[in-house]
Amino acid sequence: MGMKLLVLHGPNLNLLGEREGTSGRRFEDLNSALRARAASHGIELKIVQSNHEGLLIDTLHAERRNIAGVVVNPAGLFGSYPLRDALEAVGVPAVEVHLDGARAKQSVLKEVCAAQLSGKGFDSYLQALERFAQGEFTGGRESAKDPAPGKQKTIGRKAEASSEEEEETEAPAKTIGRKTDALATAPAKALARTAEAGGGGKTLGRKPQEDKPAKAGKGKTLGRGSKETPAADMLTRALVREKIADRLSGKLTSGALASWARSQWLEVQRGAPAESGYRDMLEDSLQTLTLSTMPASRLTDEQLVDMMTQLEE
């Protein structure tokens, strides 16, 4: 199996079909359709339905290291800030889906999701799976749909769409106030950092520190011959700069960059070697890049350039 995705169904979706009358397709039909579509792409699915906000959040926390993405229908929890914050904190690309379009526009989750699909019935979910399968959010496969650098887009958006019309919303491209502190860690990121670090209470803006011992025999090729690369399998500022440059030149999609950053960040958490004295700075920039597919944390080209500059100092 290839990537693993988490499907979260919110409250009352377990009664799908029953509440619509006997003619409606049921919850099990939805899950069967999802499993079939996922299997056709070699995607592994974990499907969880709950009527409890906390359980959905706990599931996200528990699965965050095992999954490449989330498909979430919050249902009546469309106004849940705890769920929104959890999606942001775990830093895994998420797509919000709704069967109908009734509440999609009011959802607070869409700010932290890479896209929102609504009003398409089961197809809202299935199209989310397709887009994950194409690597649009994870960089698993390069996607032609990714916007050119600096051209974040709104696709197929029907501002006047009724609840019955199909609506596909690329999450709005917001520029956030991060221009001068591209490496600063937002509270949600700090939460993610603390959770990942086992609550170690690391602080930001710390002094350069010595690296953890390198793991032998990992067989990973990180360095690419840069003058500043001390060892071939070490995470360096030069390598991160190189990846950002690839993104700016269009060689890498934003999803691919975020996905790369996430995998590197996890490696570093597990003790992979990082350039001496710059581990914290590298962790911060990887976290920022990981979250950069989310609208609320999206980085402009200018912010990416700022980050490259900071990684040079």
Ligand X SMILES: O=C1C[C@@](O)(C(=O)O)C[C@@H](O)[C@@H]1O
Binding site for ligand X (CB under 6 A): 12-13, 73, 75-76, 98-100, 102-103
Residue 24 or 150 with smaller CB distance to ligand X: 24
For residue 102, the minimal CB distance to ligand X (Å) is: 5
Cα 303 from chain centre: 19
Rounded least distance, CB 125 to ligand X, Å: 9
In the complex, the smallest distance separating the C-beta of residue 116 from ligand X, rounded to whole angstroms, is 11
Residue 290 tokens read as 């990981």
Give the contacts of 33 (CB within 8 A, at least 6 positions apart): 122, 125, 126
Please identify, using beta-carbon distances, which residue of 102 and 296 lies nearer to ligand X: 102
For the CB of residue 109, give the shortest distance to ligand X in the complex, in Å.
11
For ligand X, give the closer residue by CB, 110 or 262: 110
Residue with tokens 């501002």: 159
Q: What are phi and psi of 171, to 5 degrees?
A: -55, 140
Question: 78 in helix, strand or coil?
Answer: helix
Nearest to 87 by CA among 76, 68, 103, 72: 72
The alpha-helical segments, DSSP class H, found in the chain are 27-40, 53-63, 81-90, 122-133, 187-196, 237-248, 254-269, 279-290, 301-310
DSSP code string of 26-39: PHHHHHHHHHHHHH
Of how many residues is the chain composed?
313
Report the residue number, 99 or 281, with the smaller CB distance to ligand X: 99
Beta carbons within 8 Å of 58's beta carbon, 6+ residues apart: none
Residues in a beta bridge with 97: 117
The residue among 116 and 229 lying less far from ligand X, judged by its C-beta, is 116
Helices (H), 181-278: 187-196, 237-248, 254-269
- Shortest distance, CB of residue 174 to ligand X, whole angstroms? 24
In the complex, least distance from residue 307 CB atom to ligand X, rounded to whole angstroms: 37
When the beta carbons of 102 and 191 are compared against ligand X, the nearer one is 102
Q: How far is the CB of 172 from ligand X (least distance, A)?
A: 20
Q: What are phi and psi of 167, to 5 degrees?
A: -140, 130
Q: How far is the CB of 12 from ligand X (least distance, A)?
A: 5
Question: Smaller CB distance to ligand X: residue 83 or 307?
Answer: 83
Nearer to ligand X, 76 or 250 (CB): 76
- Closest of 246, 259, 31, 14 to residue 132, by C-alpha: 259
Query: What is the spatial distance between Cα 156 and Cα 208, in angstroms, rounded to a whole number?
Result: 47
